[in-house]
Amino acid sequence: MKTDISGYSELSTTGVYILFLHVSKETVLNVGWLGTQKFPKGYYIYTGSALGKGSTNLKHRLARHQRKQKQLFWHIDYLLANKNVTIEKTVAAETTKKLECTINCYLKTLADTTIPVNGFGASDCKNTCQSHLLYFPELTSTDFLVQKLDIYLKSLTDVFPVVIID
């Protein structure tokens, strides 16, 4: 994934983002209040939103996720800070709507998925997601899911543009 996303001027407002993650080997780590958790090898998808202005906008949030060195605050920070974890792709879309639960539910329908850690990234979830991090144990590539997600996001109203960052 690109470490410099300053060129993505279209991501300078609020929006939703989906991180396609790969964990290279089984990893046990501390996830703040969730305690010690085990993450099996394989592909994960995390859905989040950045609905603030300025330093908390979409572009800054994505840049933050790419840095290994930072104060660990959100659940996802603990996972991304680990050396076994890489962001393979990011799909981001400008929107002012709170869409992360809707998108998370949609992603669950695309392939066999399990909840790796109950409550992960879902502290302020108003739905029944259980987790905004999904694990896809059977997946060998994320290409298909990225394509489906791109089409799905473009079908939603008030979501534009959709940007895929390798």
- Is 10:86 a contact under the CB 8 Å cutoff? no
The residue count for binding Zn ion (CB under 5 A) is 4
Nearer CB in complex with Zn ion: 63/125: 125
Q: What is the DSSP string of 115-137?
A: -SSTTTT-TT--SS-S-SEEEET
Q: How far is the CB of 44 from Zn ion (least distance, A)?
A: 16
Q: Which residues pair with 48 in a beta bridge?
A: 17
Q: Which is nearer to Zn ion, 82 or 97 (CB)?
A: 97
The residue (of 5 and 16) whose beta carbon lies closer to Zn ion is 16
User: Where in 84-113 is the site for Zn ion (CB under 5 A)?
Assistant: 101
Report the residue number, 29 or 125, with the smaller CB distance to Zn ion.
125
- Per CB under 5 A, 127 contacts Zn ion: yes
Dist. CA 70–CA 50, nearest whole Å:
18
Which of 70-78, 83-91, 129-137, 157-165 is the region at the interface with Zn ion (rule: CB under 5 A)?
129-137
Residue 63 sits in the site that holds Zn ion (CB under 5 A): no
Which of 129, 133, 149, 153 lies at the binding interface for Zn ion (CB under 5 A)?
129
φ, ψ (nearest 5 deg) of residue 101: -70, -40
User: Per the structure block, which two tokens stand in for 123?
Assistant: 């502290």
Q: Tokens 């799905």 label which residue?
A: 152
Asked if residue 123 binds Zn ion (CB under 5 A), the reply is no
- Pairwise CA distance, residues 112 & 96, whole Å: 30
Interacting residues with Zn ion (CB under 5 A): 101, 125, 127, 129
